[in-house]
Amino acid sequence: MSDDRSETVVADRTLHTDRYERRWMLVSAVLLVVFAIAVAVAGFALGFQVPGVEARVDPNTVAESGPFANPGLRDLGNNEFEVYMVAKAWAFDPASITVPVGATVTFYVTSVDVQHGFKLRDTNVNLQIVPGHVSKLSTTFDRAGEFPFICTEFCGLGHSAMFGSLVVEEPEG
């Protein structure tokens, strides 16, 4: 019997791969390169940050001592600020923050009860707030205005009332 598939299957003599298989391997390799470029552009050119776990804490005691016992804005000088924020059902503490134009603000947020979210409108700050973890992200405010923030994880009956606001002001004078 002759091989009647010989006309439709063209085998690569070295890798023993079908022509179509080779094409799909090439497409896969090109996609990997495209994804690598996309990650590099997002990370280095667009300033995307992957929110990581900055520290692990005990949610039962985190608000009793240390920076989360006195949540709020810290002025580090040189237009650098830190915000230590406690999320709990159903409020953020602090719920209102004011910084000057040009401020670079690093947010440290933790939860003392259930999982919450922290999304700051018109910025790339979007954090998952997990009890036991401190989530950290920095952003710079280049224009004056109000930047509302909301909880983005359903956390119970009062979830929709869990929000606050960051105001960026023009410097005086």
Site residues, ligand CUA (CB under 6 A): 90, 116, 151, 153-155, 159, 162
Give 103 or 114: the residue with its C-beta nearer to ligand CUA: 114
Cβ atoms of 82 and 74 within 8 Å: the answer is yes
In the complex, minimum distance from the CB of residue 117 to ligand CUA, in angstroms, rounded to a whole number: 6
Residue 154: CB minimum distance to ligand CUA, A: 6
- Write down the least CB distance from residue 67 to ligand CUA, Å: 21
Q: Which is nearer to ligand CUA, 47 or 158 (by Cβ)? A: 158
Residue 90 near residue 159, CB atoms below 8 Å: yes
Smallest gap from Cβ 128 to ligand CUA, in A, equals 11
**Which CB, 103 or 134, lies closer to ligand CUA?**
134
Distances (CA, A) of 100 to 26, 125, 170: 51, 18, 6
Q: Which is nearer to ligand CUA, 90 or 108 (CB)?
A: 90
Q: What stretches of the chain adopt beta strand conformation (E)? A: 52-56, 72-77, 80-88, 91-93, 96-100, 104-111, 116-120, 126-129, 133-140, 145-150, 163-169
